[in-house]
Amino acid sequence: ETGVTQTPRHLVMGMTNKKSLKCEQHLGHNAMYWYKQSAKKPLELMFVYNFKEQTENNSVPSRFSPECPNSSHLFLHLHTLQPEDSALYLCASSQDGGGREQFFGPGTRLTVL
């Protein structure tokens, strides 16, 4: 869609499982973001990475663990999630962290049983 891809697109997991979400951007950007989008709630920023360094953790529970090995890839490692963590998880990137527009991936629809 916009040069930002996310896999998988859909994920169903049990509360004891460990899984990872992957995001890749092909835009040459240096900032990457994870958002959570739940029904009837505004977008919630989770993490921000600038040049592979985490610059924002928006009080996210430790059962969500991000990883940014390089400026093109971002992971979200999941373990012992709760049913209320079911949501659409969106990845985005921007050229830098200075307030330029962000480009979003299609999201991963996560269901926790």
Partner 1 sequence: AQSVAQPEDQVNVAEGNPLTVKCTYSVSGNPYLFWYVQYPNRGLQFLLKYITGDNLVKGSYGFEAEFNKSQTSFHLKKPSALVSDSALYFCAVRDESNTGKLIFGQGTTLQVKP
Point out which residues bind partner 1 (CB under 8 A): 1-2, 4, 6, 31, 33, 41-43, 45, 48, 50, 55-56, 90, 92, 94, 96-107, 109
Q: Shortest gap between Cβ of 94 and partner 1 (angstroms)?
A: 6
Q: In 3D, which of 79, 74, 86 has the Cα closest to residue 113?
A: 86
Of the two residues 2 and 80, which places its CB atom closer to partner 1 in the complex?
2
Q: Shortest gap between Cβ of 85 and partner 1 (angstroms)?
A: 19
Asked whether the beta carbons of 35 and 89 are under 8 A apart, the reply is yes
The percent of the chain in helix, strand and coil, each rounded to the nearest 5, is 5, 55, 40
The helix/strand/coil state of 43 is coil
Q: Shortest gap between Cβ of 8 and partner 1 (angstroms)?
A: 14
Asked whether the beta carbons of 34 and 55 are under 8 A apart, the reply is no
Of the two residues 75 and 104, which places its CB atom closer to partner 1 in the complex?
104
